[in-house]
Structure 1
Amino acid sequence: MKIARRSLLAGSVALLGLSLVGFLASLAWPFELASHFRFQYFLAAALLAALCLGLRHRAALAVTFAGLAINVLTLLPYLPTKPDTVASGTPLRVLVINAYVSNRSPGRVVEFVRSSGADVVFVCELTRDLDKRLRELALEYPYRCADPLDNPLGTGLYSRLPLAQAEITTFDGEGWPSVIADVRVNGELVTFLGTHPEPPSSPSRRASRDAQLRAIARFAKKHEGRLIVAGDLNVTSWSSIFSILTGQTGLVDSRLGRGLQASWPAGRSRALMRIPIDHVLVDEEVDVVGRRLGPNIGSDHLPVLVDLSLCPAPVARVPGAKAHPKR
């Protein structure tokens, strides 16, 4: 019994420690990794609390409740409190897919794109074979800006709506490619930025991802007009770099009020370990009216489908005008 009580206290202290160091993500790479698993910490704390009550271990219970409270507070903004609604402005449906460069079922990707009803489809880890298959949907998606590669850097945008201009670029000449396009929606322009920074699997790769997201934040701050930033950002909403991306730009996380919607990894056997790293961020001129995850399409990510409503623009923009500053 003593061993069980000591183990319980040790587990409670470890969980509280992990919950706290996640707030120090900007200081060190391991701390940043600890910031992503808030839902898992919540589940672990709930289980530990039940065990503490069963063993009547007051000290461990107090520590566990502290960890539970911390993670509940971080999850509260993502409780599913907002029902899907009908767009009051011009509707726009956005689909974000990390297709996975080693996907053995590219046909499932194409079929989901076909059935999604999306107006704009952003695909990262776009291979040449998948791009060829998606081009067969040219009647539905006649507008395309893509650079397919047989590695994780392949990227592409497919649209039902005209693209006034579109390009694939890197910010400051570094980082992984992004697509920037001016989408003409009902006579007005919306800038769509699709991006896929490097996964933070080491300190140097974390630095590369952060540099790319900081560059996007600078771009968003200077941008005039409607802006949508989307893609596999390889970061959760609880990381310090995500706070910079949203806090300094006014971009809004489309997951707010719509549930956890964890998108990676996609496999059912790892469902409890999923974290939300695929995002759609919008500015104040764009309302989110619906958001959901798609089915498993053979990728290690689940697709993200977001319904948007474009508010009336305060200042009219001239179709075809340059929508974003020089990078």
Structure 2
Amino acid sequence: MRILVYLVRAFAGLLILVTALSIVESNEWWIRIWDFPRVQILVALLLAGGVTLWLDRRLGRWIGLCCAIAAGWQLYRIYPYTPLARTELAFAKAGSASPERCFSILSLNVLESNHDYRRTAQLIDRVRPDLLLLMETDKRWAAALAPQLARYPNRLERPLGNTYGMILATRLPMRDASIETIAEKNTPSMHAELTAGDPFRLIALHPRPPLPGQDTEARDAEIAIAARRAARTRLPVLAIGDFNDVAWSHTSQLFKRVGGYLDPRIGRGTFATFPARTPLLGWPLDHMFVTPEFAVRDLAVLEDVGSDHLPVHARLCLTGRPADSKRPEPVSPEDRRDVKEVLQEYREKQRRP
């Protein structure tokens, strides 16, 4: 029994420690990774606190209190992505916009090492999206999906063998399209002006995640630069992709405020997409942010097609601001300062030998 008490104490202490680390503003990978599993840490804190109160007569009360405080912080961070919160973006009703102003989206990180091309091809054939974004696509993926891609008159393709290849295909009229490297070599993003009744800007991102030896300066800089671009354009903006960052992180929330975006997931759920085989234990890495000129008709995470990510499907309409949607959060002086700091840290890292 004593050994069990010590193990529970250690487990609770570890959970409290990683919660404290997640509060630290740092680009170090071993700190930033604790942004991801907040739901899982919250559940573990509640369990650890309860078991400690039950088993540990000496320190259980104090450890239980610390677990409760840490759990409260985790809940505070993820609360907007629960059905308990107020929705931020109203869903449009069918028929509220003319058909030429509406279009469907399918976004999927295919997992480069996944060779089950058939299931993804079948998904595209079934959904038949007007706008298709595929990530982690190498030359083999491009060849395997060639029949599906051939149906789209407008495409941007950058197949790569480093897990950061991208393919964008659409039936919507496209102009001013480009494939850019915003922050990190061989990590492309895609940008285009599309038309669905009226023109809008599309930003597709897939920056690199925090990993051992790989901090988040480049990822955060790419997200920040994309947000500033969205803020400067006069057109509606749609941002999609695998950001390798969770929706509730400081960086994603900064992107949302600076770009003037709304998030259809707020007040509805996390819409977790990774890992695909355990979505109840996963987190939302694949995003869709829209400016207020868009109305979202529906948003769904689809079935497993062999990747480690689940596909995201949505139907959008350019209808102007829905009457019962919230306004985007204003950009504060602190937000502007944070963006400058993110870009300064990135430039400093680039200058290092």
Q: TM-score, normalised by structure 2?
A: 0.79
In structure 2, distance between residues paired with 1:158 and 1:283: 21
Aligned to 1:321: none
Instruction: State the 1:60 CA deviation.
Output: 2.4
1:261-308 CA distance string (max 9 Å, x none): 22122234xx45422111111112123332221211121211111222
Instruction: State the 1:53 CA deviation.
Output: 4.5
Return closer, same or farther for 1:52/1:278 CA change in 2, 3 Å cut-off: same
Aligned residue among 215, 222, 226 for 2:225: 215
Q: Which amino acid aligns with 1:153?
A: Y
Number of residues of Structure 1 aligned to a counterpart in Structure 2: 310
Aligned residue among 69, 72, 75 for 1:72: 75
Contact in 2 for aligned 1:295/1:303 (Cα 8 Å): yes
Deviating more after overlay: 193-202 vs 52-61: 52-61
- SS of 2:216's equivalent in the other structure is helix
- SS of 2:125's equivalent in the other structure is helix
- SS of 1:231's equivalent in the other structure is strand
Consecutive unaligned residues of structure 1, counting only runs of 5 or more, are 314-327
- SS of 2:266's equivalent in the other structure is coil
Aligned to 1:297: 305
Aligned to 1:9: 9
In structure 2, distance between residues paired with 1:32 and 1:285: 33
Matched, 1:121 2:132: yes
Return closer, same or farther for 1:276/1:25 CA change in 2, 3 Å cut-off: farther
In structure 1, distance between residues paired with 2:28 and 2:200: 37
Instruction: State the 1:159 CA deviation.
Output: 1.1
Return closer, same or farther for 1:198/1:217 CA change in 2, 3 Å cut-off: same
In structure 2, distance between residues paired with 1:14 and 1:173: 33
Aligned to 1:54: 54
In structure 1, distance between residues paired with 2:174 and 2:220: 29
In structure 1, distance between residues paired with 2:76 and 2:314: 25
In structure 1, distance between residues paired with 2:266 and 2:284: 12
1:227-274 CA distance string (max 9 Å, x none): 011111111123322222112222223321221222122234xx4542
Q: Which amino acid aligns with 2:246?
A: T
Aligned residue among 175, 191, 202 for 1:180: 191
- In angstroms, what is the RMSD of aligned CA positions? 2.5
Identity %: 27
Deviating more after overlay: 292-301 vs 79-88: 79-88
Q: Which amino acid aligns with 2:103?
A: L
Instruction: State the 1:123 CA deviation.
Output: 0.9
Contact in 2 for aligned 1:198/1:205 (Cα 8 Å): no
Q: Which amino acid aligns with 2:93?
A: V
- SS of 2:259's equivalent in the other structure is coil
Deviating more after overlay: 93-102 vs 56-65: 56-65
Return closer, same or farther for 1:133/1:205 CA change in 2, 3 Å cut-off: same
Contact in 2 for aligned 1:251/1:281 (Cα 8 Å): yes
Contact in 2 for aligned 1:144/1:156 (Cα 8 Å): yes
In structure 2, distance between residues paired with 1:170 and 1:139: 26
